Structure 1
Amino acid sequence: IEEVDSLVNKYLTSRDSLEGMPVNQVLKLARRGDITLLDVRPSEEYAHSHLEGALNITLEELEERLGDFPKSKTIVAYCRGTYCVLSYEAVKRLREKGFKAVRAEDGIPNWLNMNLKLAKQDE
């Protein structure tokens, strides 16, 4: 794990500013409609399980889909967990475009282990 953490730290030059929001806070804000949830995993993974109400937009699609996000809401991006760089990269790109964005702490595998109820695409 030290080696993986070292690689993540090298990739993320400003990791402190990208610390994750705890899932209980994410869910509370999402229920109130205060945030926009962004799942940046591939669509096949999103179809299998995701947080209810999350938009599925991959990094490749992000630039062309910026109009899908209201500037007035914070965007909370998530992916596969702590060592998945997709959410870090999404937050970085969104911030560069003037959006308020944070990443969720952990990710789908962690939330499954916590027995969180996740949605499927056909639900």
Structure 2
Amino acid sequence: MSIFPSKPDEDFKIFVYEQFSRIGKALSSPHRLILLNILCQGEHSVEALVDSTGLNVANVSRHLQMLKSVNLVKIRREGKYIFYSLSDEETCLFFMEFRRFAEKHSSELHAALNLISDKPSRMNIVDMDELRQIISDDSAVIIDVRPETEYRTLHLPKALSIPLDQLEDRYNEIPEDKEVITYCRDNYCILADKAVNFLLKKGRKAKRLDIGILNWKLAGLPVETGFEEK
């Protein structure tokens, strides 16, 4: 832990920039960025974050402690359970702006996106305006393929929760007379791509949303919580 400098000169300037660098260090892990992405959706228990990330409890806790050390996340205890959330809404806005900056400046990211741009799932997309009309008309089935814990925290209106690892077993739950729209966390989330590819192989008309639930929420569009009524 840094100690506040006693001399208000060069030592103070170094101290200030050291604090900036601590936040940079906290953001230097892809796993911690994924955790921030998930927590932008809302509060999650440690167990839910384990389920969403595929990391074990020890690693998730270690990454969360690093984020907490620079006040990017906060903690809440309820009995034996521990819940994490972002420290404030500004943290999510900062994270999304950080992503936008990286998208603009990372040539490696551009190259990776180009590699998948001609995949069937990336050629069958729906944008935000189209989806708003689809929701209004109830003209397609919207499937959230994220883990159920993330769906419970935040999801699109009228969306069904069918996590990707359950899609094959629950395929018969999808109405046959409508097109299917899949979505997940963001446009980098491959869960929606895999779902579209599976559905296309089944002969279904399927597309993925070209943004994620966070972009939808930050655009001020309606979202829901909990599970859909059966």
Aligned to 1:98: 203
The reply on whether 1:49 has 2:154 as its aligned counterpart is yes
Give the structure, 1 or 2, with the largest relative contact order (CA under 8 Å, sep 6 or more). 1
Distance across 1 between alignment mates of 2:217 and 2:162 = 21
TM value normalised by structure 2: 0.49
Determine which of 186, 193, 202 is the counterpart of 1:81: 186
Alignment of structure 1 residues 1-123 onto 2, 5 Å = 1=103, 2-10=107-115, 14=119, 18-121=123-226
- 1:32-57 Cα shifts (integer Å, max 9, x gaps): 12100000111111111111110111
Q: CA deviation at 1:11?
A: 5.0
Is the Cα contact below 8 Å between 1:20 and 1:106 reproduced in 2? no
Alignment RMSD (CA, Å): 2.1
- 1:31-88 Cα shifts (integer Å, max 9, x gaps): 2121000001111111111111101111110001111112221000001111111111
TM value normalised by structure 1: 0.87
Is the Cα contact below 8 Å between 1:19 and 1:105 reproduced in 2? no
Q: Match of 1:110, as an amino acid?
A: N
Q: CA deviation at 1:19?
A: 4.3
- Count matched residues: 123
Distance across 2 between alignment mates of 1:121 and 1:30 = 18
Is the Cα contact below 8 Å between 2:154 and 2:223 reproduced in 1? yes
Is the Cα contact below 8 Å between 2:125 and 2:207 reproduced in 1? yes
Q: Percent identity?
A: 32
Cα 1:48/1:105, change in 2 over 3 Å: same
Is the Cα contact below 8 Å between 2:144 and 2:182 reproduced in 1? yes
Give the SS at the match of 1:28: helix
Distance across 2 between alignment mates of 1:35 and 1:10 = 29
Instruction: Identify unmatched segments of 5+ residues in structure 2.
Output: 1-102
Distance across 2 between alignment mates of 1:48 and 1:16 = 26
Aligned to 2:68: none
| Structure exhibiting the larger radius of gyration computed from Cα positions | 2
Is the Cα contact below 8 Å between 1:38 and 1:56 reproduced in 2? yes
- 1:72-111 Cα shifts (integer Å, max 9, x gaps): 2100000111111111110000110111100012011111
